Amino acid sequence: MILVTGGTGLVGTYLLYELIRKGHKVRALLRPGKKPYQTQNLFDCLAPDIDKLIENIEWVEGDVLDAFSLQQAMQGIEYVYHCAAFISFDPRDLKEMLAVNIDGTANVVNACLENGIKKLCYVSSIASLGQAEKGEVIDENAKWKTSKLNSGYAISKYGGEREVWRGIEEGLNAVIVNPSVIIGAGCHRKATNQLFHSIEKFLPFYTSGINGYVDVRDVVKAMILLMESNLSGERFVLNSENLPLREFFEKAANILGKAHPHIEVNSTILTTIAWLDGMRSRIFGTKPLLTRENARAAMAKSYYSSDKLQAAFDFKFIPITESLKEAFRVLGKGDG
């Protein structure tokens, strides 16, 4: 039997769908008081002709910060996919994010070791690979460098990954995936990346930043391939294309039938907007729409290579244009 943490998140939901579709017996961790509405909504979008597909999932209450609940959830489990994570670029969330992403992962690793789990797949991030030198292509051999430019999220995922490496040294059979920016969508506004609900508002604007992108379906496909392989004690970068932000928005504009971005926002303007928005959020007690970490990320030029995965499995990534079409199709936008 398989256990999935983070089953109501973007990667976890698509992973559950694929595992159930393949006929696997699956258990999913659900935080106390929560309901899997978002997962149900996406299942209904992806497989409208398959009644009650979600009923094939055994949902159990638990939390990665509750070691006892993890021990209970892993009874009778052979394989674990650890997708649960806290993602935020708001400094006010740093303490909780470090706890969930580092301490929570340590709890998962410890429970896997204590329960003799056959294999763990940990969903890390390209953020855990650190900052690149100018023009450098980042791959699995990247070394973390302490820097004031590292976001709180990057630090938390690096810390979580270290817990998995620690588990591997203690005998845990595990693989790590480092996806770039994941493209995918759910049917509920809270179930997906807000980018796909607000992207039309930002289409006139662009920055000089460059980043890597990957389809959520490719992330899930790679995870399953790695878990079913004999590979262990390794990590794999998952990245389809490195694209300038302007080109990424142009692809979205074409699908939505909108004008291409034509207003460049430089670092000074972006930083000023982030500062003003930070003031607004503090005054009104709301979440900031743009933080200094977001602003730095939007200006960064980062390149990633998935040559290792492609060589190991002859893996073919979905083009990002197709990823955007599918995301907007699920959301009922565009002509895709």
Mean pLDDT of 11-39: 88
Q: How many other CB atoms are there within 10 angstroms of residue 136's CB atom?
A: 12
Q: Quick: pLDDT tens for 153-198.
A: 999 999 999 999 999 999 999 999 999 999 987 644 443 455 555 5
Hey, what amino acid is at 244? P
Hey, what amino acid is at 250? E
Q: Quick: pLDDT tens for 270-316.
A: 677 766 766 777 777 777 666 777 767 777 788 999 999 999 999 99
CB 127 within 8 A of CB 239: no
Q: Hey, what are 254's tokens?
A: 């074409």
**Could you tell me which of 72, 81, 84, 161 has the C-alpha nearest to residue 111?**
72
CB 4 within 8 A of CB 54: no
Q: How far apart are alpha carbons 40 and 53 in whole angstroms?
A: 8
Q: Where are the alpha helices (DSSP H) in the chain?
A: 10-21, 37-46, 67-73, 94-98, 104-114, 152-169, 195-202, 216-228, 245-256, 267-284, 292-299, 307-313, 320-331
DSSP-derived 3-state class of residue 311: helix
What is the model's pTM? 0.89
**Could you tell me which of 114, 239, 222, 128 has the C-alpha nearest to residue 175?**
222
The secondary structure of the chain in percent helix, strand, coil, rounded to multiples of 5, reads 50, 15, 35
Give, as one character, the DSSP assignment of residue 99: I
Strand 210-215 with 241-244, pairing: antiparallel
CA angle 317, 158, 274 (to 5 degrees): 85
CB 86 within 8 A of CB 154: no
pLDDT at 213: 95
Q: Quick: pLDDT tens for 100-142.
A: 999 999 999 999 999 999 999 999 999 999 877 777 899 999 9
Q: How far apart are alpha carbons 246 and 205 in whole angstroms?
A: 8
**Could you tell me which of 68, 76, 72, 96 has the C-alpha nearest to residue 84?**
96
Q: How far apart are alpha carbons 205 and 265 in whole angstroms?
A: 7
pLDDT at 197: 53
DSSP-derived 3-state class of residue 306: coil
Name residues whose C-beta falls within 8 Å of residue 77's C-beta, 6 or more positions apart in sequence. 1, 2, 3, 27, 115, 117
Confidence of residue 200 (pLDDT cuts 50, 70, 90): low
DSSP-derived 3-state class of residue 115: coil
Q: pLDDT at residue 319 above 50?
A: yes
Taking CA atoms, 78 is separated from 74, 119, 227, in Å, by 8, 7, 11
Q: How far apart are alpha carbons 269 and 330 in whole angstroms?
A: 34
pLDDT at 256: 84
Name residues whose C-beta falls within 8 Å of residue 106's C-beta, 6 or more positions apart in sequence. 163, 166
Q: Quick: pLDDT tens for 38-95.
A: 777 777 777 766 556 777 889 999 999 999 999 999 999 999 999 999 988 888 889 9
Q: Structural domains in the chain? A: 2-197+212-242+303-329 (3.40.50.720)
